[in-house]
Structure 1
């Protein structure tokens, strides 16, 4: 089942069906960056081992989640931006919403498997305290309400909250595309206003079983997605990002400041001046401005320096390209593997060495699984005749 799912739309999505041939000239840069995000997310989802300290979250305000959503916006602009026109809007809207439903089903599937992994660990190892991990306890204590809440997205397990946010953003995508057709600037203002209002007035989907709310607020994170989509649409229209020394200096300075802020733990410094926390804090749920600017500054630096572009233009069959191209099944695979790793770490006393060995093995399995997905997909892909 997993090999039939796609996380990110491809540039030629919808032209020749799901089993279309992969073009040899495919631009692999987004695939490579997406793969790096997926591998980093997997490493971060097995906390308590050494490799976790090497990921980007330890060297700046943002982490792989922000990078992944920005790449998702870029991919959506590439796949759908030029197709949302009169005569094709209804069909494309239904196609986008079908993808949103796929993401929802994937979220429910991984959540159920996560429950089974932790419940199985509790039974097999005799560790009932596993049920107290990653927000499982409310479902066990209130099973009927918990199952309904999980299906209605009113309860989320820890480390199982990206797909639900992404599904909601995809539900919004037809409206985003329509507004972009009217005015990209108007879309940016509307998206920024929603982001700001969500952060100031705590507009966020709530959880049913407690007084909390979603860990990743879609009304906030849609702004980063929209920024990515607008940038891709501008690029496809032949409008390059400005490569100005001042912008480069400001971006590099902010990234450097973020690096020292995290490494030296300057979190006690208060520079709020009475402004809302969404503008001066470091909250991930509402995507505070500090995090937003950091991922955008990093993305800008990676874009304007040609060396990064050359490094990420790889062969179509490169392992990183395969992971990025099969992002949804690989993400599901990585999530399930990470949940197994969490259980194993828990029952072994959170030994960081064993955890690191598990993560290293898991990274290797990511490459193997992506290779398998490409092989199995190639069996039904039409062969391109050689000249």
Structure 2
């Protein structure tokens, strides 16, 4: 039976499959965008607005973390919750290192198998090859990141910051938003970000900037859970107008229009590293419309058994799987002269494999659960066959 969504703008207390569905769509879009040069890439929403799937993924992640930890950081439980969060951060760090090593191996294998050493000059690999000792240290310390392998490292840092966010939230949600917004603004104005070890510049996704979007999702979902989300006709019209202008701006390439008026780039630019206001407002406008317009919100309330829900539920494993598939796809595109038709067929195959892998993870979880239940029953003491008094 299909689960019915709750009232408009209210997040139910049971598992909200809408988050899983939108997270699944973000993961699939990230995969498609990470195989550049094929036709499907032109259909993703990065071509129709200022933000892309990375912003959507971080916002949804903040919402998921809010539901998971927002009410648990109480006096007497803070140490246990903090240790659980740090363990999750370690998991994300290990996942980042693992995918980075596999990425390197995929490109190195392609260079050897297809006799294309120029593959090793792609996605920021060359610095590690030329300066291996410094490169390996840089990878371990997150001071050197390969292209298309920079979301998990940023996400791991956000989890390191999460206990501090929770502590502020327990005092005041407004205080948390104010502190987070100040960090975002200062990082953007003064270009404060983790630096790269082997070359000039910063991390591609600056956690000091992206934490603001993460926190907005965190606070927003807890506010919606307790009080619902207000529907305001003026805000709805404003959000829709902003999305329309963003669409025209990107489609018609209005990038030469200067409206900075001498203000910092973080307020008027389109920078992804420091999450400029244009990108931040774009993803928030889209999220507001989805949250407050019933037809946009209710369609995503799919049953737990739906394939999209499965992808979103196993987000970390699916993201790693998608990253590996995307790196293989990039090698294939490179050695075939970036044939768009071949790349499109590969992207379609990759999407199918995402669903298959999520289905496998569901099956694996069911088997483990059945085995645990069976072992639990076997461990129960055997009752006497006749307990009646004679």
TM over 0.5: yes
Task: Show the counterpart of 1:308.
Answer: 296
Matches within 5 A, 1:270-349: 270-349=258-337
Q: How does 1:1-387 map to 2 (within 5 A)?
A: 26-237=15-226, 239-381=227-369
Q: Distance in 1 between matches of 2:221 and 2:233?
A: 22
Structure 2 CA distance for aligned equivalents of residues 248 and 236 of structure 1: 20
How far is 1:242 from its partner?
1.8
Please give the secondary structure, in 2, of the residue aligned with 1:153: coil
What's the offset of the Cα at 1:27? 2.1
Q: CA deviation at 1:240?
A: 2.0
Q: In 1, distance between residues paired with 2:360 and 2:174?
A: 43
Q: 1:2-46, CA deviations, whole angstroms, 9 ceiling, x for partnerless residues?
A: xxxxxxxxxxxxxxxxxxxxxxx6321000000000000000000
In 2: Cα distance, 1:46 partner to 1:215 partner: 18
- Structure 1 unaligned spans of 5+: 1-24
For residues 194 and 304 of structure 2, the distance between their equivalents in structure 1, rounded to whole angstroms, comes to 40
Alpha-carbon distance in 2 for matches of 1:189, 1:44? 33
SS at match of 1:283: coil
- Any idea what SS the aligned residue of 2:368 has? coil
Deviation at 1:166?
A: 0.3
Distance in structure 1 (CA, Å) of the matches to 2:202 and 2:19: 31
How many residues in Structure 1 have an aligned counterpart in Structure 2?
A: 360
- Rg comparison, structure with higher value: 2
Q: How far apart are residue 309 of structure 1 and its match?
A: 2.1
Task: Give the structure 1 partner of residue 386 of structure 2.
Answer: none
Partners of 1:111 and 1:252 in 2: how far apart?
39
State the shift of 1:359 in Å: 0.2
Q: In 2, distance between residues paired with 1:268 and 1:110?
A: 38
SS at match of 1:207: coil
1:233 shift after superposition: 1.4
TM-score by length of 1: 0.92
Name the CA distance, whole Å, in 1 between partners of 2:68 and 2:171. 19
The separation in 2 between residues aligned to 1:341 and 1:244, in whole angstroms, is 44
Unaligned runs of 5+ in 2: 1-13, 374-390
Cα distance in 1 for partners of 2:228, 2:302 equals 22
SS in 1 for 2:239: helix
TM-score, length-scaled by structure 2: 0.91
Distance across 2 between alignment mates of 1:212 and 1:273: 26
Moved over 4 A (4+): none
